[in-house]
A and B are shown apart, each in its own frame.
Chain A
Amino acid sequence: QNVSVEVLDHLEHLALVDFRDSEGVERLQKAIQFADQLHEVNTDGVEPMDSVLEDRCLYLREDDVTEGNCTKELLENAREKVEEYFVAPPGNIPLPKLEERDTFLQGS
């Protein structure tokens, strides 16, 4: 059972991944098949588990100021900065539509 082009396009938009070629898509299909094996287990009436650590205690921190004040250090990571601001493009640059992208998915 193949994943449709619409879903692949949607995934590329959401996660900004590039499946690049048929091998990439094939790997995705195999991963889905592998995960689908979970459906073979009957889980009626069983509470879903998020993590094996779900019984651990969630640590609560006191409301004290213990961090911050490291502007210079943080800005060292910035490719571009203006005074003490990070610089970003004016808005999200949307991934071009499928027809306009140079992607292997077009051929599908």
Chain B
Amino acid sequence: LAPWIPVVGLEIHAQISSNSKLFSGSQVQFAAPPNSLVSFFDASLPGTLPVLNRRCVEAAVMTGLALNCSINKKSLFDRKHYFYADLPAGYQITQQRVPIAVNGSLSYSLYIDKKMSQMVTKTVRIKQIQLEQDSGKSLHDDTRCQTLVDLNRAGVGLMEVVMEPDMCCGEEAAAAVRELQLILQTLGSSQAVMAEGQLRVDANVSVHHPGEPYGVRTEVKNINSIRFLAKAVDYEIQRQIEELENGGTILNETRAFDSKLGCTVPMRDKEGKQDYRFMPEPNLPPLILYDAKSLPANMNHQQVINIDWIHERLPDLPSVKREKLVEQYGILPEHSFTLSNEDGLAEFFESVVKQTQMKPKKVIGWILNDLLSYLKQHSLTVKESPVSSFLLADLLNLLEKKEISSTAAKQVFVELWKGEGKTPLEIVKEQKLELLQDQKELEQICQAVIDGQENE
């Protein structure tokens, strides 16, 4: 049986973190009373016009720069037409012809095998990043055969990041999205919380034999977490392989991931190829961006966006932060990866290192093997940890000064986890875990044991 090569591409929509919407002054907020964050423009009432939000443009430029893209100094807005109840205008304003950023790349790491022993770095090309409007939300009321529409989300700014089909499986797709999420959160351009719909991923999946042209691809939507992304992609790859091996064909269709059943199913309302009738947005002239060289002399600087100015102020990206941790503390890249993957864990680690004499290379073991595994077992975040960095550092100091053995230290850690407010020293005293250093005392104990043996 000839081998199959799976091909995975991703389209990611990230909600821009801003106070107001992309083209109107209504507020951006999750969970507000229905239709309370809607302006006349968002409701598509006649006579209203789009006015571009500066912050949204800056967010897109930052993201483009962080992903090594070329920023288009002139980009254009277009209308993409389709009918749906949560799209009151009947079209979405997007950037189809000339988007704001193109031709970038994203590097991500993943474990080479299940044993999680070594990491390998891969790259996925970024085709483009475009600014576009989000749609409203539809709540389907099947009992009364109707849809309830809330336009609070209509018009919120989105960055669509298009990744080329350089990935081959669910694990790679998940790792790439995780890294993108960390970058967006570091930049602050999007909070990228998937559970709140701030980061939505659609996967394009196909399979083919080596040397043959790419197979027909399907689009998979309704993926609500990074874990489900990996599952959905892997399921779809398997489904396509089985279908083709049984002599069937793959339809160029849109499928939804059913997380309960763990499979993909065809989506209704998406049958047949859509014709979006793209046209230039007549109400918006081209978006012009500047750099240090092209900066116009006599323009109101509030109306000017300087790419170089934004570039200079980019924060350290996750990959740089990880390298710095390895350099500064002598830990392994794998450790650094785990530290930065867990919200707040790197800060916790650094805080403990500051407060203890124990070497960072030893501290990392406690952070990753003890603290992290306890947190995972109890489904807690670093912020919710009953053991603070102060308490852990205290414990590690006792160990470092050889006042307790490492076995005893583990016991104290279990006790600390109960969060009863006792210090490590108090626990050691309570449970009599001190290491005896006194020679005479040790001799007495050994003698007592020997005497005890002789009596038997």
Contact = CB atoms under 8 A, between A and B. Distances in A.
Q: Do A and B bind each other?
A: yes
Interface in B6-33: 18-20, 24-27, 33
A86 B148 contact: yes
Given A14-B277, A64-B25, A86 B149 contact: yes
Nearest to B41: A67
B410 to A, nearest CB: 51
A92 B36 contact: no
Interface residues of B, number: 56
Interface stretch (A19-27, A28-36, A51-59, A99-107): A51-59
A96 to B, nearest CB: 14
B85 interface: yes
A63 B20 contact: yes
A interface majority secondary structure:
loop
Contact of A83 (B34, B51, B280, B285): B34
A74 interface: yes
B43 to A, nearest CB: 5
Nearest to A58: B285
B146 A88 contact: yes
Contacts of B38: 68, 70-71, 74
B interface majority secondary structure:
loop
Contacts of B285: 51, 53-58
Contacts of A63: 18-20, 53-56
Interface stretch (B60-68, B134-142, B248-256, B346-354): B134-142
A71 B268 contact: no
Interface string B32-59: 0111111111010100000111111100
Nearest to B18: A63
Interface string A69-100: 11100110100001111111111100000000
14 contacts: A58-B286, A62-B302, A64-B19, A70-B38, A74-B40, A74-B43, A84-B33, A85-B35, A85-B139, A86-B149, A87-B146, A88-B149, A90-B141, A91-B147
Interface of A: 10, 14, 16, 50-51, 53-71, 74-75, 77, 82-92
